[in-house]
Structure 1
Amino acid sequence: MMNERDFDKIFALMEVSFPESERRTYMGQKELLSDQHYRLITETNNNNQIFAFLATWEFPMFRFVEHIAVDPIMRGSGVGGKMITKYMKESIKPILLEVEHPDTELAQRRIGFYERLGFHLNPFEYVQPPLQKGQDDLPLKIMSYPQLLTGEEFVFYKENLYRNVYKIKD
């Protein structure tokens, strides 16, 4: 089980790396630690300090990367790419992740980063349900590895995400 200090470091990294609309509250995030599908993978330095993490959901048919973040002082060093590449290499299931629409330079760069790793930007309309009370749906895109999704696969994965990650009861 993850200790309090490690969780606090991960949550602090989450706060500097993602806008409020793309993360849960502290308690909401902490509650995920008891979910059997949720897993945090961390990278630490020689002093055992966490400087990067990958938050993932492991399901029978696929894997979903919810967050990947690197300490701002370590960004651009290749750490994030190495983490996700290692994760992809150990995977026999498809991997999905959400990205912003490619209408800003930063979003385009992020999509390009994942495409260089082997992910594909799917054409389907998708929204991330609110992660905190009072927030709106967030229009995003789904990227998938190792290939583009069919319409049927997209619907299957989306329904699983909504039910298991976002706790939406249909």
Structure 2
Amino acid sequence: MEFVRINSSDNNYFDDVMNIYKVSFPIFEQRTIKDQMDVLKDDKYNCMAVCESNKLVGILLYWDLDNCKYIEHLAISPSIRGKNYGSRILKEFCENNETIVLEIDPPVDDISIKRLGFYSNLGFKLQEFEH
């Protein structure tokens, strides 16, 4: 896997990354394209196009904070979901980084329970406190 950092909207992957972003998350969880372009200027923010054999397979958006990497969004291209790309991306990311934090919706329905299982199978632990 190759992780390609997107620093501006001029990057060749930007439009495709934003398309995956737009179709993968509810509108209330998304930044506007303008806001996304603005946050790309922050050195702590990492908008990664994840590629295999020069083909975009997914996106990983995270913050490089002082004491951890905070994953904000992970999504796979809709046409290739269910082929273990998400697991492979996170495993590689975890191998190269120490403390990783991510947030998911509370596990209250089938989708959110499945999501919790996905992350738990990759070694993530559920913190049971409200925030």
Fold equivalence (TM over 0.5): yes
Aligned residue among 16, 22, 26 for 1:19: 26
- Is 1:62 aligned to 2:68, yes or no? yes
Contiguous gaps of at least 5 residues in structure 1: 127-170
Per-residue CA distance 1:95-136 (angstroms, 9 max, x = gap):
11110111110000001000000001111112xxxxxxxxxx
Partner of 1:29: 36
Measure, in 1, the Cα distance between the counterparts of 2:82 and 2:107.
20
Partner of 1:109: 114
Measure, in 2, the Cα distance between the counterparts of 1:86 and 1:112.
18
**1 or 2, which has the higher helix percentage?**
1
Measure, in 1, the Cα distance between the counterparts of 2:37 and 2:116.
28
Other structure's SS at 1:121 match: coil
Measure, in 1, the Cα distance between the counterparts of 2:115 and 2:65.
25
User: What amino acid maps onto 1:113 in structure 2?
Assistant: F
Does the 8 Å CA contact 2:47/2:62 hold for their aligned counterparts?
A: yes
- Structural mapping, 1:16-165, within 5 Å: 16-46=23-53, 48-92=54-98, 94-126=99-131
RMSD: 1.4
Other structure's SS at 1:106 match: helix
Does the 8 Å CA contact 2:13/2:49 hold for their aligned counterparts?
A: no
Partner of 1:167: none
Partner of 1:130: none
Q: Offset at 1:64?
A: 0.1
Other structure's SS at 2:62 match: strand
Scaled by the length of structure 1, what TM-score is found? 0.68
Contiguous gaps of at least 5 residues in structure 2: 1-6
Per-residue CA distance 1:75-110 (angstroms, 9 max, x = gap):
010111110111111112x21111011111000000
User: What amino acid maps onto 1:83 in structure 2?
Assistant: I
Other structure's SS at 1:81 match: helix
